[in-house]
Structure 1
Amino acid sequence: MAKRRITQETFDAAVRENMEEFEMDPDEALRDAVEQFESQGVDLGCIVKAIPALSSDYSQEEQKTHEVLQALDSLRITKDSTNVTEVTAGIKCFTEQCSLGFAQRYLAAQKDAYPIILAYCKKSMEEQDALLLTLSALAALTDGQPDLLDREGQQFLLDVLKKYQADSSVTCVAICVVRHCCLKHEQNRQDLVKNGILLLLTGAVTQHSGCAELIKEASAALRVMTFDDDVRVTFGHAHEHAKMIVLEHSGLKVLIDSAKAHFSNASVLSEICSTLSRLAVRNEFCQDICDLGGLKLMLTLLADSYESAELVRQVLSAIRAIAGNDDVKDAVVNAGGVQLIVFAMNRHMSNAAVCEQGCACLSVLALRKPNNCKVIMENGGALAALQAMKAHSDAVNVQKQACMLLRNLVARMQNFSQPILEMGAEALIAQAVQTHQDCGDVGKAALRDLGCKVELRELWTGKHGGLTN
């Protein structure tokens, strides 16, 4: 059931009533209001949970308002001002307030902050320092609020990226705004793609290959273009956008070359691996990543950067994606990938995300590949999966991926069933089936293929019946 919503004014009135009518001190009044609304099932995610402060310009009680709105009012007043210092201070204050949390950004947007900030952005188009400042404010405001962007804003972002192609700092912040406005917003993605955003993003990566922050931002923005995360849209263009990035803009080569240039930067490599996994949407793309040196890069990262759990997770996710290609499966195994994956799982056994991706990776490598199954068994892959099931009994995705791996290992190699059962697989799989409803089908299938007794519910017998209304 959807939670109830209230306005900021309603919440502030409740806090004020606690202070005036019940003589509570400010902190107690605020805490009581939060508790009362939450007990009534009200969602306070969009509410600024703070005491409105007196504006520095006024002394009257009725001028109390939240600091983000004070900053916005200041920008309204100075929109025609020629005092650069005053305007700069106002923009910085507004950006800082928006960066405090979503509630501040939401409240500002409700009070028409977007057109005000966009006007400042357009006004500062010819001045690099001023543009960097106003773009940062726009980036802060649009974080989590992609609906704010309109056609005028889209065109402004495209103009900035074209005009300031040589400026890495402006380009980086503009791309950040693009990413914010495309996350969970299919129409913004489609509009910007139609108007050439993909060329501008890949071009920025190539032109500023030495700028780590820009590479991360552009890689993340490209990845967002392949998302299908807008619940308001029945069918998105995620697949088409991924194909365009690869086929029309050489996205795979651009990203892999950037990864090679930043081999010692774990955060850059993590972003690039995550984006590559989103672009591996066709069999030939998986092979292309391998041929361009992407697989060698990923396996080297597993060997050299195994201490970083987040990087390991992203690398495993990328290997899992490209191993959908049968030839790449063999390439991974022949290059010693199984040993590295099992080692990474054992090194980060306490990390559920790494265990999930590790099991999924091995599961893909084992699918329809008896020789790969042999290598996985010899290198302790089954045992690592069972250890992951023990360590993360409450993580449904770890349980599911481990069950799928175990099933794939014995589907064409029945001689592996007994060794796996001797490791205690039956009890762990049965527990997963009993604990997690989502593990029912895959868990029972694993038990069946392992030769265990399992009750399979017959959903339909195929007989004609006397159906009645």
Structure 2
Amino acid sequence: MTIFCIVISRESSYRASGDKLEKMAKRRITQETFDAVVRENMEEFEMGPDEALKEAVEQFESQGVDLGYIVKAVAAVSSDDKQEEQSHKVLQALDSLRIGKDSASVEEVTADMKCFTEHCSLEFAQRYLAAQKDAYPVILSYCKKSAEEREAVTALSALAALTDGQPDLLDAEGQQLLLNVLKKYAADSSVLRVAIRAVRHCCLKHEQNRQDLVKGGVLPLLTGAAAQHGGCAELVKEASAALRIMTFDDDIRVPFGQAHEHAKMIVLQHNGLKVLIESAKAHLGNTSVLRELCATLSHLAVRNEFCQDICELGGLKLIMTLLAENYETPDLVRQVLSAIRAIAGNDDVKDAVVNAGGVELIVIAMNRHMSNSAVCEQGCACLSVLALRKPNNCKVIMENGGALAALQAMKTHTDKVNVQKQACMLLRNLVSNTSNLSQPILDMGAEALITQALQTHEDCGDVGKAALRDLGCHVELRELWTGKKGSLTY
């Protein structure tokens, strides 16, 4: 059997891994090349469609080719054998939309638009292929037309699906369209929901789009939508997620983003904290909405006074209630713990959390979901923040079994570096100002677990050694530079 290796490009991409960026070289092929190999397997080797597809995938993967951008399906062949054209369903729908772009109304192409959206929503490769065939200007033209015809949901859904994972597609014209739709359809929750989803997709990992849309006034439109349609769960989720993404610093192409400034604007200029907390109160029975709102509150608690504001607006009481009433739901527990961790950066809030019985609730949640590494990580992080510079809080944490829960988490998740790091930080904070707690923690077996974490995870080096040092254990600290035997040259 012929082995194909028709590689057309080798490009560099970057992947975030912790605090490092790993550069990886990937070989790529075109969709046409892949489809040709599948067809040749069928025609030359008389394979069935499924076998031909599987064989092509295995061939290219064995050669280190990245197939993440390839639609792994058998393309349909044109009825005209002379042309021998092949086309995937997403492209067939796109071709139909392109034919009617200048003459057909959005209503007339609804079926094709829904088909296009459906296939773009299946996987990234489908929408990538569509984008390579210039789908964006076609869909944008329908979006502009639909905004005038008041039939905006269908076209905007296609735009949202197409831009998912492809924020670079959005241009200035598209930005203005989204802003106009958010203003024009402020009273229509169904249109707003889809438009906000498109905004969210276009801002994830794209700092320039975020900054442009914020300058265009998207923030008051998002908070206004959440406030006006607070009873619509799906819209509140979309608006909350979009606001949170505005506070991200996730575009590796940009050295400095505006994440902190955007968070300040949401809170100070657009009353974002109150909007989110009131929205949460309106959906106490909807865990998916509450997860989103807690996650966004965590990202907005970027200043000491903001943490205090959350408490004064009833946010802390709400969060404590959520933890007490939903401790059986791990996904919500994780986000609630993340929110507590964020707002407890304020020393007064630390005391408020402890006085409200927060330590006991956190330990209960950790013990209930000890097998869930994310809950254990956030639980240890919460207790660590509550213990920092607070000797009285450290005693409460010890009395409620916080140290024991952290050590159990270390035993359960030996392979999870973040659990190990957060547990080490908690143990260190517990004894840094309360040395009398060192021996009880050592009696629980802390030294062996910390030593194991140091041996297993290089990233635990600093926090692990600091924990051992403050516990009074022997630890080798290596001086990287003493300032002697040399001089700095400029």
C-alpha distance in structure 1 between counterparts of 2:319 and 2:224, whole Å: 24
Contact kept in structure 1, 2:106 and 2:142, CA below 8 Å: no
- Identical positions, percent: 81
Residue in 2 aligned with 1:270? 291
C-alpha distance in structure 1 between counterparts of 2:245 and 2:87, whole Å: 36
The answer as to 2:101 corresponding to 1:52 is: no
- Displacement after TM superposition at 1:308 (Å): 1.0
Residue in 2 aligned with 1:351? 372
Residue in 1 aligned with 2:112? 90
Residue in 2 aligned with 1:183? 204
Residue in 2 aligned with 1:23? 46
* 1:2 counterpart SS class: strand
Name which of 121, 127, 134 aligns with 1:99. Answer: 121
Name which of 367, 375, 399 aligns with 2:420. Answer: 399
Residue in 2 aligned with 1:388? 409
The answer as to 2:89 corresponding to 1:67 is: yes
C-alpha distance in structure 1 between counterparts of 2:227 and 2:110, whole Å: 32
C-alpha distance in structure 2 between counterparts of 1:60 and 1:312, whole Å: 61
C-alpha distance in structure 2 between counterparts of 1:194 and 1:393, whole Å: 46
Residue in 2 aligned with 1:241? 262
Contact kept in structure 1, 2:307 and 2:343, CA below 8 Å: yes
Aligned residues: 466
Amino acid at match of 1:92: K
C-alpha distance in structure 1 between counterparts of 2:164 and 2:209, whole Å: 14
Contact kept in structure 1, 2:106 and 2:146, CA below 8 Å: no
Listed one character per residue, the Cα deviations across residues 80-103 of structure 1 (whole Å, up to 9, x for unaligned) are: 344766511110111111111100
1:118-197 superposed matches below 5 A? 118-128=140-150, 130-197=151-218
Name which of 296, 300, 303 aligns with 1:279. Answer: 300
Amino acid at match of 2:66: D
Residue in 2 aligned with 1:416? 437
Amino acid at match of 2:68: G
Residue in 2 aligned with 1:292? 313
Amino acid at match of 1:452: C
The answer as to 2:62 corresponding to 1:42 is: no
Listed one character per residue, the Cα deviations across residues 427-457 of structure 1 (whole Å, up to 9, x for unaligned) are: 1111110000100111111111111111111
The answer as to 2:134 corresponding to 1:112 is: yes
Residue in 2 aligned with 1:76? 98
Q: Report the TM-score when normalising by structure 1.
A: 0.97
Q: Which runs of 5+ in 1 are unaligned?
A: none
C-alpha distance in structure 2 between counterparts of 1:156 and 1:60, whole Å: 42
C-alpha distance in structure 2 between counterparts of 1:118 and 1:83, whole Å: 14
- Displacement after TM superposition at 1:467 (Å): 9.2
Amino acid at match of 1:179: R
Q: Report the TM-score when normalising by structure 2.
A: 0.93
C-alpha distance in structure 2 between counterparts of 1:196 and 1:66, whole Å: 39
C-alpha distance in structure 1 between counterparts of 2:235 and 2:305, whole Å: 28
The answer as to 2:250 corresponding to 1:221 is: no
The answer as to 2:399 corresponding to 1:378 is: yes
C-alpha distance in structure 2 between counterparts of 1:101 and 1:414, whole Å: 55
* 2:28 counterpart SS class: coil
Residue in 1 aligned with 2:10? none
Judge which range, 35-44 or 309-318, deviates more. 35-44
Decide whether aligned partners of structure 1 residues 83 and 407 sit closer, same or farther in structure 2, where only a CA change above 3 A counts. Answer: closer
Contact kept in structure 1, 2:157 and 2:194, CA below 8 Å: yes
C-alpha distance in structure 1 between counterparts of 2:72 and 2:401, whole Å: 52
Decide whether aligned partners of structure 1 residues 85 and 118 sit closer, same or farther in structure 2, where only a CA change above 3 A counts. Answer: closer
Amino acid at match of 1:78: G
* 2:130 counterpart SS class: helix
Decide whether aligned partners of structure 1 residues 150 and 82 sit closer, same or farther in structure 2, where only a CA change above 3 A counts. Answer: closer
Name which of 332, 335, 347 aligns with 1:314. Answer: 335
Amino acid at match of 2:100: T
The answer as to 2:221 corresponding to 1:200 is: yes
- Displacement after TM superposition at 1:466 (Å): 8.1
- Displacement after TM superposition at 1:458 (Å): 1.7
C-alpha distance in structure 2 between counterparts of 1:61 and 1:450, whole Å: 77
The answer as to 2:371 corresponding to 1:338 is: no
C-alpha distance in structure 1 between counterparts of 2:484 and 2:107, whole Å: 82
Contact kept in structure 2, 1:54 and 1:61, CA below 8 Å: no
C-alpha distance in structure 2 between counterparts of 1:137 and 1:85, whole Å: 14
* 1:69 counterpart SS class: helix
Contact kept in structure 1, 2:152 and 2:191, CA below 8 Å: yes
Decide whether aligned partners of structure 1 residues 85 and 462 sit closer, same or farther in structure 2, where only a CA change above 3 A counts. Answer: closer
Decide whether aligned partners of structure 1 residues 58 and 392 sit closer, same or farther in structure 2, where only a CA change above 3 A counts. Answer: same
Contact kept in structure 1, 2:425 and 2:463, CA below 8 Å: yes
Listed one character per residue, the Cα deviations across residues 295-317 of structure 1 (whole Å, up to 9, x for unaligned) are: 00000000001111111000000
Decide whether aligned partners of structure 1 residues 84 and 139 sit closer, same or farther in structure 2, where only a CA change above 3 A counts. Answer: closer
Amino acid at match of 2:84: E
Amino acid at match of 1:254: V
The answer as to 2:37 corresponding to 1:14 is: yes
Judge which range, 400-409 or 39-48, deviates more. 39-48
C-alpha distance in structure 2 between counterparts of 1:21 and 1:467, whole Å: 69
Amino acid at match of 1:27: D
Q: Which runs of 5+ in 2 are unaligned?
A: 1-23
Name which of 452, 455, 462 aligns with 1:431. Answer: 452
Judge which range, 276-285 or 85-94, deviates more. 85-94
- Displacement after TM superposition at 1:59 (Å): 5.8
- Displacement after TM superposition at 1:38 (Å): 1.3
Judge which range, 242-251 or 260-269, deviates more. 260-269
* 2:84 counterpart SS class: helix
C-alpha distance in structure 2 between counterparts of 1:83 and 1:238, whole Å: 40
Listed one character per residue, the Cα deviations across residues 138-186 of structure 1 (whole Å, up to 9, x for unaligned) are: 1111111100000000000011011100000000100000000000000
* 2:473 counterpart SS class: coil
- Displacement after TM superposition at 1:16 (Å): 2.0
- Displacement after TM superposition at 1:21 (Å): 2.7
